[in-house]
Copies of this chain bind each other. A is one copy, B any other.
Amino acid sequence: MKPVPAPPKPPAQDRALESMRSQGLRLTSQRRVVVEMAFGTKEHFTAEALLARSRRRDAKVSRATVYRTLAFLVKAGLIRQIGLGQQSPQYDPNFADAPRHGHFVCVDCQKVVEFYDACLEVRESIVTKDHGFSPKRISLQIEATCDTLREKGACPHRNP
């Protein structure tokens, strides 16, 4: 019997629009632009950066609309606000597809690297239950130094 491939998950972007529609929100052109720009990258971004990117597509997108749309996406669980010890909060669009990853923050070069570990997830779940809770959303951030930088003097995580 031929194995049936799992149907591809709709891109986060489509799920966001669907989520908005199902909540009765109108799919305005501005909201489409903001959603497209939010999920059009795997990188983390700030609210201001998302505004700038959205305005390159449509110069009239307002700051207010970006903040309002971002707030909805966060509440819907499609984007997560992460506090990486930096100045203003960053938003991570990858949680829609990989809701359980954590972040390394390289204290040498400030680069953020995402990771996932099944053992951690299992243990996190056990510990949570042991304390009488049911886990809903886990945020794990590890500030660390880069071994390669220390040994070779160059950090492999820094962008080109």
Contact = CB atoms under 8 A, between A and B. Distances in A.
A123 B117 contact: yes
Interface of A: 81-83, 85, 89, 104, 106-107, 113, 115, 117, 119-120, 123-124, 127-128, 131-148, 156
Copies in the complex: 2
A138 B124 CA distance: 14
A120 B140 CA distance: 11
Contact of A140 (B85, B136, B139, B148): B139
Nearest to A148: B132
Contact of A131 (B104, B127, B143): B104
Interface residues of chain A: helix, strand, loop or mixed (majority):
strand
Contact of A133 (B123, B133, B145): B145
A43 to B, nearest CB: 19
B134 A145 contact: yes
Contact of A128 (B104, B124, B139): B104
A136 B108 CA distance: 11
B120 A133 contact: no
Contact of A139 (B81, B124, B141): B141
